């Protein structure tokens, strides 16, 4: 019998040369929205980090007392992020790892993450439900998850389904930050107490 489950859309790794271009930095408000969630000293997990379009500015913002854990399934993009972090003098604040979100192991940082950013990548994950459960569990109580998806790849109905997944994972929706009027966005919080 033919499968009815569509394989997730995944961009080729080299598209990162476009996604991390200086032109995007000028026209894409995603960085500004992420910046509003980042404070000095925070520990941030940037999932599907690519070349670090968000990881690098967030590492500047967390300052010397903070940390950005940047994970991506594609080793070539993680290598390039490490190069960019070194060139920017941010290597000591960015812990970049090649791993699939299905195998995410944050060791003793699990349960202590202040912010998870999931930008333009949830639709690429094979198991978004499992990922959101894991993401909720690595957040400290009161920690936040910022989800942003591109309307070209994700329909409004699919985004609604993503939000429902996050709610089922135990996250509470606390906002929908505006990026550019079209972008699909949701901000969640891990409740301070469960039950």
Site residues, ligand SAM (CB under 6 A): 10-11, 19, 48-50, 53-54, 71-74, 77, 100-101, 119-121, 124-125
Distance CA 131, CA 137 (A): 10
The distance of closest approach from Cβ of residue 127 to ligand SAM in the complex, given in angstroms and rounded to an integer, is: 8
Half-sphere exposure of 179 (CA within 13 A, CB side): 22
| Nearer to ligand SAM among residue 52 and residue 143 (C-beta) | 52
Cα dihedral: 187, 149, 57, 40 (round 10): 10
Quick one: 135 or 195, whose CB is closer to ligand SAM?
135
Min CB(11)–ligand SAM separation in Å: 5
Task: Tell me whether residue 119 or residue 136 sits nearer to ligand SAM (CB atom).
Answer: 119
Distance of closest approach, residue 54 Cβ to ligand SAM, in angstroms: 6
Q: Residue 37 in contact with residue 146, Cβ under 8 Å?
A: yes
Nearest alpha carbon to residue 165 among 110, 123, 193, 195 = 123
* In the complex, least distance from residue 192 CB atom to ligand SAM, rounded to whole angstroms: 28
Q: Which is nearer to ligand SAM, 22 or 64 (CB)?
A: 22
At which residue do the structure tokens 């394989």 appear?
A: 7
């Amino acid at each position: 019998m033919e499968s009815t489950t569509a394989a997730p859309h995944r961009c080729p790794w080299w598209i990162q040369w476009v996604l991390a271009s200086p032109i995007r930095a000028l026209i894409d408000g995603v960085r500004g929205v992420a910046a509003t969630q980042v404070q000095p000293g925070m520990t941030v997990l940037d999932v599907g980090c690519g070349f670090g379009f968000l990881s690098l500015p967030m590492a500047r913002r967390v300052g010397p007392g903070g940390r950005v854990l940047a994970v991506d399934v594609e080793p070539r993009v993680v290598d390039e992020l490490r190069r960019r972090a070194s060139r920017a003098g941010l290597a000591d604040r960015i812990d970049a790892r090649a791993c699939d979100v299905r195998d995410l192991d944050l060791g003793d940082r699990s349960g202590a993450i202040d912010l998870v950013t999931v930008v333009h990548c949830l639709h690429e994950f094979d198991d978004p439900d499992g990922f959101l459960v894991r993401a909720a569990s690595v957040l400290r109580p009161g920690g936040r998850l910022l989800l942003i998806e591109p309307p070209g790849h994700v329909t409004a109905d699919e985004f609604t389904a993503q939000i429902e997944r996050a709610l089922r994972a135990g996250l509470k929706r606390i906002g929908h930050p505006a990026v550019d009027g079209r972008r699909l966005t949701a901000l969640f919080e891990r409740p301070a107490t469960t039950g």
